[in-house]
Amino acid sequence: MLLHIPEVLSRAQVAHCRALMAGAEWVDGRATAGHQSAQVKRNLQLPEGSPAARELGELVLAALERNALFITAALPQRVFPPLFNCYQGGMDFGNHVDNAIRTITGSNTRVRTDVSATLFLSDPQDYDGGELTVDDCYGAHTVKLPAGDMVIYPSTSLHRVTPVTRGARIAAFFWTQSLVRDDARRTLLFDMDLAIQRLRAQGADSEAIVSLTGSYHNLLRMWAQT
């Protein structure tokens, strides 16, 4: 499931992020790449554990906790602390698949990467190129969203970022270990949950809603891994 989640951050929050980044030190983004990804990755990144990265990461995590659409779609068990990158001057990231397991820096905590996310912090008109392109069985999907909006997609997907030829593409990125690791099952639960919400808003028969809600939770109980 590839899903656009709008307004994860407000315009004021985006402006705060950009102001904090403007005074931060950036390093070679290959520092956090796996062996295969490092061969095709050309970008800059805020150092993990830096004061700016920690403050920005906490802001993003707090926003995710308040975002009902993200919770419904990702069913998060654990979220890897957000990282922040910048593409400019022809930088790009070639075809790659995200590492299956990420270890949180400074801990023994491992996160299985079920759901990948990119939270855009630059508006599309501020740069040329820089499209996130995600491949699935239906072809290639190109994503370039307003600042504050986010896209999530299965971490098993082959994806890339096209060269930035003007301006700078700045974003947060992270991974979620889901309670339900299988994307097809997560998608089914997501569709069912949204349907229940629509029926409730339309004033549908309460007994039918209770029955459907019970089925949702029984499926989640069957598939969840805690």
Instruction: Domains for the chain: give ranges and CATH numbers.
Output: 3-178 (2.60.120.620), 183-223 (4.10.860.20)
**Main-chain dihedrals φ then ψ at residue 166, nearest 5 degrees:** -150, 140
Q: Which has more confidence, 116 or 30?
A: 116
149 is in an annotated binding site: no
What is the mean pLDDT of the segment spanning 97-123? 95
For residue 33, pLDDT over 90 is answered with no
Longest distance between any two alpha carbons in the chain, whole Å: 59
200 is in an annotated binding site: no
Residue 46 is given by DSSP the state P
96 is in an annotated binding site: yes
User: What pLDDT sits at residue 57?
Assistant: 97
User: What pLDDT sits at residue 106?
Assistant: 86
What percentage of the chain exceeds 70 in pLDDT?
A: 97
35 is in an annotated binding site: no
- With 0-12 / 13-18 / 19 or more C-beta atoms within 10 angstroms meaning exposed / middle / buried, residue 53 is buried
- pTM value is 0.94
What is the mean pLDDT of the segment spanning 50-79? 97
Residue type, 186: R
